[in-house]
A and B are shown apart, each in its own frame.
Chain A
């Protein structure tokens, strides 16, 4: 059964077309992440689902019921906001109980549920505090508590972690993932952070300019991107794109170097393409070259250690590419060495349509 079904949804703000015909089908229990750069329409889409924005056209069904024109409170949803949206004049307990009271739950039931939710989030000792007395992470927990205390069909998260510092963000991400596993509820999560998307999602919906660019499981999108945009958006550091032309056996780069593409004989020779190579698929060359790999001499330009790994910038095919190597494999800029390019995992993109071939 699908908990959320969106059909050809459009949203206009005056002349601005924010969402352009999005269709979506979310299964019960699924964790769906709407991701994309800012201004791609992901938040607008979420607000349409919540009923906080009226849709211009299209249809939204939640739990099999048409709610396109229903009030937010009639949609059976719960939502966590970016700025937590805690009521400053209510203490933590009353904040969490707010939605239950609005729906006229019995006080004993409220008591029970608030306790369960606060225990689950580890904020049981904070119930009598007021929001201004809480740290950012605690506020975020309360905001989540206010959502999970309800029995909603759909749980919506609007960039809930973007106001937290990096350390806290990692902790809360784990927390949310754990919550989803424990509760097994249907969740829709908006973020611009591709790491959040990759780690949390059962399914990623990648939006761009109000259109779904690609959707699927995180690994699916990561390993089989359909467009240059998807390939470039997911993964850190970003995928390298090298300009080139297809030849009979592979691709000829801008500086004339030819690389062999194994198993791509169907490609049309002479076509202008971009060769996409992830930094993780570039390594220091060993004594031998495996089948489908290329061994290339390079001079290191820049070294950025990240601790466990090191990101190395080096010139290749007329541009600079980034390779992610082991922490102690390279020492300093100017070093001359050989790299090993895993061509079996490289992707070829049509330079004009930007579609993956």
Chain B
């Protein structure tokens, strides 16, 4: 090689990395951009040939329609279902994880069984659940879906929280026990505060799973508790799609997730990778 200073080559290398990184960002973000931009377009802009790459002005008519027709309420349904089921999954999952970690309840077998539940394909359980729900009248009810989402999130919550709880020094709990706390108080006053960041991260992803669900909602809802994912598919047509509604509805359903993830930046990696990587 030439006698060029080392840093020169490093500079070229870095520029190249930036170039590729920028290209990747464009490729991976363009679909998101397109989705958002369509939701702000006028019908003329949407059905223009060649396509309009950016709208002349940002207008919210497409959203206004969704709110006027009441379709936007499906986002509210998703919000209710996802947050309540996340709440219960976090409580039940965390205390169960605590029991598994601290008392080795049921040994390794129980832990493996619980985690193997995450492998369960939704399509294999949704049909029996549907029949069960018809029988007890839970179809198209908040209650039915909340129970389902809660249960379906549990293996994930237990798996994640197990990792976080294992990191808590045992002595902190013992100290609390000696200082006069009951087992419940120790769990409440020591374990939960110590696992705070883990609780946070796990809750975000539990929420996103429930929020993004489609199959369960498709099968188990009718009109009352339709979620936004199901609502989006209502606008699909054979040849004529309701472009503006699809885009606006999707954006409405996507913004809360983007927002949560932006707030939860630092928990992203560990949450997404299901605790496979200690972030």
State whether these chains interact: yes
Please report A residues at the B interface, Cβ cutoff 8 Å: 50-52, 71-73, 75, 77-79, 81-83, 85, 87-89, 98-99, 102-103, 146, 150, 156
Interface size classification for chain B: 10 to 19
A103 touches B180 (CB 8 A): yes
Return the contact of B181 from the options A73, A75, A85 (Cβ within 8 A). A73
A71 touches B177 (CB 8 A): yes
A83 touches B169 (CB 8 A): yes
A89 touches B177 (CB 8 A): no
A52 touches B178 (CB 8 A): yes
Return the contact of A89 from the options B169, B171, B193 (Cβ within 8 A). B193
Closest 3 CB pairs of A and B: A99-B179, A102-B180, A85-B175
Q: Which residues of A contact B148 (CB under 8 A)?
A: none
From B172, B174, B176, residue with most partner A Cβ within 10 Å: B174
Is chain A's binding surface mostly helix, strand, loop or mixed?
loop
CB distance from A151 to the nearest CB of B (A): 12
Return the contact of B194 from the options A73, A78, A89 (Cβ within 8 A). A89
Count A-B contacts at CB 8 Å: 62
B181 touches A81 (CB 8 A): no
Complex CA gap A82/B174 in Å reads 12
What 1/0 mask marks residues of chain B from 181 to 194 whose CB sits below 8 Å from any chain A CB? Answer: 11001000110011
B179 touches A52 (CB 8 A): no
CB distance from A233 to the nearest CB of B (A): 27
Complex: chain A residue closest to B179, CB-CB: A99
From B169, B178, B181, B196, residue with most partner A Cβ within 10 Å: B178
A146 touches B171 (CB 8 A): no
Complex CA gap A14/B268 in Å reads 42
B175 touches A102 (CB 8 A): no
Complex CA gap A78/B178 in Å reads 6
In addition to A89-B194, A99-B179, A102-B185, 9 A-B residue pairs with Cβ atoms within 8 Å of each other are A50-B178, A72-B178, A73-B182, A85-B171, A85-B172, A85-B174, A87-B194, A99-B178, A103-B179
B169 touches A85 (CB 8 A): yes
Q: Which B21-64 residues have C-beta < 8 A from chain A? A: none
Q: Which residues of A contact B171 (CB under 8 A)?
A: 81-83, 85
A78 touches B179 (CB 8 A): yes
Complex CA gap A87/B176 in Å reads 9
Complex CA gap A150/B175 in Å reads 13
